[in-house]
Amino acid sequence: HVQLVESGGGSVQAGGSLRLSCQVSGTIKNRDGRNCTAWFRQAPGKEREGLVAIDNAGNPGYGEFMKGHTKISRDVAKNTLYLEMNNLKPEDTATYYCAADAIPRAACAKVAGTGYFKYWGQGTQVTVS
């Protein structure tokens, strides 16, 4: 049973920073390619958009909505994924989700759409004012 749990969200002022965490438990069966873990976000009234991803070889992937002030990292020993965000702006206000699945490497590299990922966390709210 695969489970993802995000944490680290909160309210910050514009220009501030946050580091979100995603604790991953369970084993994903490797079907089509490398395991991929990604960060998405969804603002009110908008579609969920992919930001950044990383595969199990440590290769990063960048979505079309990738923001220059975000960085993905991971702690393999802790099975934890991180999203570091600096210089936050009000338009960064959203619920941030981590997602995981075994998907083709090319899909992970571009943070393919939500349909590629079977496993999702519950989300953590980030509010920038």
Structural tokens at position 114: 């939500």
Place of tokens 């580091």: 19
Task: Give the 3-state secondary structure of residue 65.
Answer: coil
- β-partners of residue 14 are none
Q: Are strands 70-75 and 80-85 parallel, antiparallel or unpaired?
A: antiparallel
Average pLDDT, the chain: 91
The pLDDT tens digits for 17-28 are: 999 999 999 988
The pLDDT tens digits for 62-91 are: 887 776 788 899 998 999 999 999 999 999
Percent over 90 (pLDDT), the chain: 72
- Determine the Cα–Cα distance for residues 26 and 49; give it in Å rounded to an integer: 25
Distance of CA 88 to the CA centre of its chain: 16
| Rounded average pLDDT over 105-112 | 90
